[in-house]
């Protein structure tokens, strides 16, 4: 069963391969809507915007907000500032919220008895179980230059995958350390068990540039697939590619 839900300025897809109640699905989507309301930078009335304008004290903020900010702060320190929840003196948690919310939605589904599903929140996805007995979830990575093409298909199994790029919503991902736009990579995909981590790391690695993939793998054990401006794909860590793809192996450069 495939359900879609518009939220967070994007479309969330839920591919369910097991039977669950409609209430559970609704509750999962509700988590995403709530996060949208709380953290959206496009809504002036969101809690995050109010906090950013100084209309709200941090002690009075919701536990969810404080947790996201705490996570954002931790990732900022871990990445040496390449990832940051601050942009141009305003709070912007877009690099973490979607993954964090989708991760919580997925945990809710699991707690509610869902065994086999794929939740894709606008390109950040998390899987559980299998699409069918004997198969494992396979996720393609979009080609940044052509929406209809894929860079490759990963045999994901159970896990999370998030991709960062500057090609969709038009903004530039900024390297928090320098303030400048990062152009080392044109697309970064991170595989991790946790979608929050994957989402943040995808942004952080993109912002960090060349040392990003290594850092992500070292600190978090994640696998990173990064496409550079010349069209060269870098793979750091263990990635299982799906069979039946037309790969050509380059040789060493």
Footprint of another protein on residues 111-140 (CB under 8 A)? 118, 120, 122-125, 127, 131, 135, 137-140
Stretch of 8-16, 48-56, 57-65, 66-74 contacting another protein, by CB under 8 A: 8-16
Give the C-alpha separation, 187 to 146, whole Å.
Answer: 12
Among 107, 158, 168, 183, binds another protein (CB under 8 A): 168
Among 26-34, 36-44, 105-113, 155-163, the segment contacting another protein (CB under 8 A)? 155-163
Residues 69-108 that bind another protein (CB under 8 A): 98
Judged by CB under 8 A, the stretch of 4-12, 18-26, 58-66, 76-84 that binds another protein is: 4-12
Q: Produce one character per residue of 219-248: b if its CB has 16 or more CB atoms within 10 Å, e if not.
A: ebebbbbbbbeeeeeeebbeeeeeeeeeee
Which residue bears the tokens 């999370």? 160
Site for another protein in 19-78 (CB under 8 A): none
3 state SS of 27 = helix
Nearest to 75 by CA among 225, 215, 223, 227: 215
The verdict on 6 binding another protein (CB under 8 A) reads yes
**Is residue 165 within 8 Å of residue 151, measured between CB atoms?**
no
Helices marked H in 127-211: 195-208
Q: Which of 40, 79, 103, 163 binds another protein (CB under 8 A)?
A: 163
* Interface positions, 226-245, toward another protein (CB under 8 A): 226-227, 231-245
Residues that contact another protein, how many (by CB under 8 A): 77
| Alpha helices, H only, 60-147 | 63-78, 94-111
Minimum gap (Å) between residue 107 Cβ and another protein: 19
CB of 162 to another protein, least distance (A): 7
Which three-class secondary structure state does DSSP give residue 164?
strand
């Amino acid at each position: 069963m495939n359900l879609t839900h518009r939220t967070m300025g994007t479309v969330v897809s839920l591919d369910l391969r097991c039977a669950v109640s409609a209430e559970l699905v609704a509750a999962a989507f509700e988590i995403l809507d709530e996060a949208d309301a709380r953290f959206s930078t496009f809504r002036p009335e969101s809690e995050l915007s109010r906090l950013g304008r100084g209309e709200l004290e941090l002690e009075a903020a919701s536990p969810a907000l404080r947790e996201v900010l705490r996570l954002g702060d931790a990732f900022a320190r871990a990445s040496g500032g390449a990832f940051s929840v601050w942009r141009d003196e305003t709070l912007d948690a877009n690099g973490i919220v979607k993954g964090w919310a989708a991760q919580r939605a997925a945990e809710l589904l699991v707690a509610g008895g869902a065994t086999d599903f794929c939740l894709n929140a606008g390109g950040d996805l998390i899987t559980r179980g299998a699409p069918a007995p004997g198969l494992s979830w396979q996720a393609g990575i979009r080609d940044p230059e052509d929406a209809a093409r894929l860079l490759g298909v990963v045999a994901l199994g159970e896990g999370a995958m998030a991709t960062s790029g500057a090609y969709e919503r038009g903004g530039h991902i900024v390297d928090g350390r320098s303030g400048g736009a990062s152009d080392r990579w044109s697309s970064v995909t991170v595989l991790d068990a946790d979608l929050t981590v994957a989402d943040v790391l995808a942004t952080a690695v993109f912002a960090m540039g060349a040392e990003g993939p290594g850092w992500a793998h070292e600190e978090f054990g994640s696998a990173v697939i990064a496409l550079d401006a010349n069209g060269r794909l870098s793979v750091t860590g263990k990635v299982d590619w799906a069979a039946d793809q037309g790969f050509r192996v380059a040789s060493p450069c």
